[in-house]
Amino acid sequence: MMTAEFIFSITLCAGLCVLLFALNFSLSMAEVAQYIAFSAARAHAAGHVDQEKQEQLAKDKFAELTNHKVLKTFFTPGGANWFKLSALDVRGGGVSQKSFDDFYPAYSNGDQRIPQVGVRFSFSPALLNIKIAFLGSTAEDPDQGFSANISGLLIREPTQKECWELQVKRRYSAILDLDQRFKELGSSGANKYVPMEDNGC
């Protein structure tokens, strides 16, 4: 015959097993979310025609990974709803002047040479927000649960537009201004030649 102590201990052990499963699975899916952030940041970092195209690449990669047949079950509201990801926030600096410097002031130090740019979203493990018999709730505020910001910060490559406007065009104009002969050559071949530089653009 089972005693009250045995029932209590079995219930307590089962609760701890559920808690450990939820914790392990949440940490595993947090790693998956970090990979999604890195992949979206990497897609955003690649050079393109303009900054809007770069941001769209990041959003497309984010949507592709979160809608994958394996991950869709966990990350979408129509699935198991164990984990929630907020909308992707893409900040690329440059013309838009959007960066994460306000979130990471310790790294910026007022120095704009290294902008904190990339992607960011919120990761909320609803699976971890549970109530266990004899132990109570895992969260201080069960209505809020747990949440963490997942960031992927990669400095993006310059766009074709930025490369032309901020580097090639200025340098080409500076070369033409060096001597009158350069201006004549530059104007005579304006329709035939395109100035290019092999400087990473």
Write the DSSP string, 25-66. HHHHHHHHHHHHHHHHHHHHHS--SSHHHHHHHHHHHHHHHH
- CA dist list (Å): 6 to 2, 11, 135, 138: 6, 8, 16, 24
Q: Give the start-end residues of each E strand in the chain.
A: 83-85, 89-91, 118-125, 131-132, 136-137, 148-153
φ/ψ of residue 85, rounded to 5 = -115, 135
Contacts of 30 (CB under 8 A, 6+ apart): 123, 125, 148, 150
Is the distance from CB of 62 to CB of 88 less than 8 angstroms? yes
Please tell me the total number of residues recorded for the chain in this structure.
201
Specify the 3-state DSSP secondary structure of 106.
Answer: helix
**181 or 140, which is more confident:** 140
**62 or 185, which is more confident:** 62
User: What single letter denotes the amino acid at residue 25?
Assistant: F
What is the mean predicted confidence (pLDDT) over 172-193? Answer: 66
First vs last Cα of the chain: how many Å apart? 78
The token pair that represents 120 in the structure block: 């960011």
Q: What is the pLDDT of residues 26-65, one digit of tens each?
A: 999 999 999 999 999 999 988 888 888 888 999 999 999 9
CB-facing half-sphere around the CA of 75: CA atoms within 13 A: 22
CA distance 192 to 201: 21
What is the mean predicted confidence (pLDDT) over 161-175? Answer: 75
Least confident of 17-31, 125-139, 168-182: 168-182
What is the band of 94 on the pLDDT scale with cuts at 50, 70, 90?
Answer: confident
What are the structural domain ranges in the chain? 1-157, 159-200
**163 or 193, which is more confident:** 163
User: What single letter denotes the amino acid at residue 147?
Assistant: S
What is the band of 188 on the pLDDT scale with cuts at 50, 70, 90?
Answer: low
Q: What is the pLDDT of residues 61-85, one digit of tens each?
A: 999 998 888 888 887 655 567 888 8
Contacts of 50 (CB under 8 A, 6+ apart): 159, 160, 161
pTM: 0.75
